Amino acid sequence: MGEFELIDRFFRRPVRRAALGVGDDCALLNIRPGMQLAVSTDLLVEGRHFLSTVDPARLGHKALAVNLSDLAACGAEPLAFTLSLSMPRPDERFLAPFAQGLLALADRHGIELVGGDTTAGPLTLGITVMGEVPPGQALRRSGARAGDVLWVSGFPGEARLALEVFRSTLSLSEDDFHAARRAMELPEPRVALGLALRGLATAAIDVSDGLLGDLGHVLRASGVGATLRLADFPRRPLLARQPVAVQRMALLTGGDDYELLFTAPEAAGPAVQAAAAQAGVPVQAIGRITATPGLQALDEAGAPLDLAGWAAFDHFKS
C-alpha cells in the first residue's frame, strides 16, 4: 500500500463543512464572518505519550481528544483538523482501528479531517485543530483575579493511576485498573463546558501536565497566587480507595487528565454550576485566587501542606 492509497483508504471522506478537504494542495475552510480562528497543535510520540501496546482505536481517540481539549480550554467551537502521521510501514491492522477511533470522536463533535501529511518513520502523530470563537471571547490564562474561585471539571487524578500500574509502582483490582485505563486512554474533551464558560470564566486551562503545573501557568499569566483546599478535590471511589499520598500525587501532579481548570468571580458560582449542568460535566470549587503570588495548599484536615518537591511534568526536565 502506497502513501496515496493509504490516505484514500483511511483518511479521505466526503467533505461536509469545509469547501475543500483531503486531496488538493490546501484545504479550504468556511468560517463565519467576524469570527476568530483558534488553532492548536499537539504531537504524540510513541514511548513518550503512549505505549506501543495501546489499542489503536483508543490512540486515535486520544490523539484528537487532547487537541480538542485545547480548543475547549479556549472556549472555541471545533471546526476541522489535520493529521500528520509518521509510521514505520503502512500497517492496516493499526490504521483501520486508529482511523475508526479518530473519526468517531470527530463525528461526535461535528468536525472533519481536512488534510495532513504522511511519511515513513517512528510512530508519531501530530494533529492541528481549528475552531471558531467570537473576537474577545476566547478563554485565556491571563484573566484570573484575586478573590476568584478556582474550579476543576470531572475527576482529575484517575488517569495517573493507570500510568503507575504500567510502571509497576501501584497495583489495582482488575475493575479499578480497567477504569483508570479508560481515564488515561479515552479522555473526553470538555468542549461543551468550554463553550458554556464563555463570558463566565475569567481564566481557563486544560490539565494535561498535572494540576499544579498547569495552575502555575494560569497564576503566572494572571500575576496572582492561589490557595488550594485538598479536602474539596473531587474523588471517586477509584481514587479515594488509594493511600492518601497516592491520592495527592495523582490529584496534584497526575497529568493526562484533560479536565478544565478555570476561575470565575465568586458571584458567578450559580452560573458556573448551571453551565456545567448544561454541558453535562460535574465541576467542583477547589480553591481561591489570592493577590499574593505563589501557591498555598491546605491538606484534607485543613492544615498547611508543603508543596515543595511537587514538580509538574516537563518533557525536557524529567
3-state secondary structure of 115: strand
Distance CA 2, CA 310 (A): 48
- C-beta of 99: minimal distance to ligand ADP in Å? 9
Q: Which residues contact 167 (CB under 8 A, 6 or more apart)?
A: none
Identity of the residue, 65 or 103, whose beta carbon is nearer to ligand ADP in the bound complex: 103
Q: Based on the number of CB atoms within 10 Å of its own CB, is 135 exposed (0-12), middle (13-18) or buried (19 or more)?
A: exposed
By CB under 5 A, is residue 3 in contact with Mg ion? no
- C-beta of 107: minimal distance to ligand ADP in Å? 15
Identity of the residue, 15 or 113, whose beta carbon is nearer to ligand ADP in the bound complex: 113
Q: Which residue is nearest to Mg ion (CB)?
A: 117
Identity of the residue, 115 or 234, whose beta carbon is nearer to ligand ADP in the bound complex: 115
DSSP calls for 31-83: --TTPEEEEEEEEEEBTTTB-TTS-HHHHHHHHHHHHHHHHHHHTPEEEEEEE
Which residues pair with residue 83 across a beta bridge?
116, 127
Q: Which of 117, 120, 122, 244 binds Mg ion (CB under 5 A)?
A: 117
Choose the contact partner of 24 out of ligand ADP, Mg ion, none; CB within 5 to 8 A by kind. Answer: ligand ADP
- C-beta of 15: minimal distance to ligand ADP in Å? 11
Distance CA 276, CA 12 (A): 35
Cell of 28: 479550504
Q: By 3-state DSSP, what share of the chain in percent is helix, strand and coil, each rounded to 5?
A: 35, 25, 40
- C-beta of 3: minimal distance to Mg ion in Å? 9
Distance CA 220, CA 11 (A): 40
Nearest to 184 by CA among 106, 111, 256, 283: 256
Identity of the residue, 118 or 284, whose beta carbon is nearer to ligand ADP in the bound complex: 118
Q: Based on the number of CB atoms within 10 Å of its own CB, is 24 exposed (0-12), middle (13-18) or buried (19 or more)?
A: exposed
- C-beta of 244: minimal distance to ligand ADP in Å? 45
For ligand ADP, the binding residues (CB under 6 A) are 7, 11, 22-25, 83, 85, 113, 115-118
Choose the contact partner of 210 out of Mg ion, ligand ADP, none; CB within 5 to 8 A by kind. Answer: none
Query: Which amino acid is located at 116 in the chain?
Result: G
Q: What H or E segment, with its residue span, contains residue 165?
A: helix 158-166
Site map 86..115 versus Mg ion, x via CB under 5 A: ------------------------------
Choose the contact partner of 11 out of Mg ion, ligand ADP, none; CB within 5 to 8 A by kind. Answer: ligand ADP
Identity of the residue, 26 or 301, whose beta carbon is nearer to Mg ion in the bound complex: 26
- C-beta of 96: minimal distance to Mg ion in Å? 22
Could you tell me how many residues of this chain bind Mg ion (CB under 5 A)? Answer: 1
Identity of the residue, 130 or 183, whose beta carbon is nearer to ligand ADP in the bound complex: 130
Per the annotation, does 313 bind a ligand?
Answer: yes
CA distance between the termini of the chain: 39
Identity of the residue, 3 or 314, whose beta carbon is nearer to Mg ion in the bound complex: 3
- C-beta of 280: minimal distance to ligand ADP in Å? 30
How far, in Å, are 51, 169, 213 from residue 246 at the CA level? Answer: 22, 10, 17
Annotated binding site for substrate: 49, 256, 313
Annotated binding site for Mg(2+): 25, 40-42, 70, 117, 206, 209
* Binding residues vs Mg ion (CB under 5 A): 117
